Chains A and B, each alone.
Chain A
Amino acid sequence: MPLTILRVQKEPFDSAVETAPLLAGRSDIGALVSFTGLCRDEGGALSALEIEHYPGMAEEEIGRVVDEAYTRWPLEGVLVIHRCGIIAPGEPIVLVATACRHRTEAFAAAEFLMDYLKTRAPFWKKQHGEVKQKDATSGDWVAAKVQDDAAAEKWRG
């Protein structure tokens, strides 16, 4: 039976620890692909990233994206962890892992999951600058990228 792990959390995570359950007790899995998205410091200009999400819908939407991945590839396990709240440069933001008999499907499914998560899951990033800002409305919201929509579009038909 495939194992699915989906979580939205404030705390940082360790990808090796988190992906271990996908392989526990399994000898039929030939490929584990994991992707970790990290917070860049943008050349020192960024002091923190603030991630807002839509509680409830974020988890549901990740679930819908994962369900779609299962219909496309013969996956033996999927893990998606996305953080919310304040994230410091160097910390992980998102972890996607796919387990499969063969690597081709595992790589494709991981890329599909990231492309769809970026354009469908209700999360928004706000960049906070070098100077500590106390005002809740300070900071700049990251604008959605056209390339992200194009990346998600390529999985259609």
Chain B
Amino acid sequence: MRALYFAWVRERVGLAEEEIVPPADVKTVTDLVAWLKARGENYEAAFANEKTIRAALDRNHVKPDALIATAKEIAFFPPMTGG
């Protein structure tokens, strides 16, 4: 699946987007965050305070317990500050 990062999440990860292939036991958004954090210090820093990070699956806001299932795109970002 494609992972997208925005705002300071993007800056801390050091990437705007990447292709990821999480193992089968990574089922929820929370599982995916844990898996990403184990990949390196940059991910660890980006997701240090998980509660402040929002996620969207295929461009729809989701809660941390949402199932990734067959989603093609997941995005991680801080709370929105537009308007």
Contacts and interface: CB of A to CB of B under 8 A. Distances in A.
A37 interface: yes
Contacts, number: 72
Interface in B1-17: 4, 6-8, 11
B83 A124 contact: no
Contacts of A40: none
Given A52-B6, A57-B56, A123 B11 contact: no
Interface residues of A, number: 30
A141 B7 contact: yes
A124 B81 contact: yes
Interface string A125-144: 11000000000010001111
Nearest to B77: A122
Interface string A21-42: 0000000000000000100000
A28 B56 CA distance: 40
Secondary structure of the A side of the interface?
A: mixed
Interface in A5-21: none
B11 A137 contact: yes
A141 to B, nearest CB: 5
B21 interface: no
A138 B54 CA distance: 22
The 8 A-B pairs of least Cβ separation, nearest first, read A123-B82, A144-B79, A118-B83, A124-B7, A57-B59, A142-B81, A125-B81, A141-B8
Interface of A: 37, 51-54, 56-57, 60-61, 82, 93-94, 114, 117-126, 137, 141-145, 148
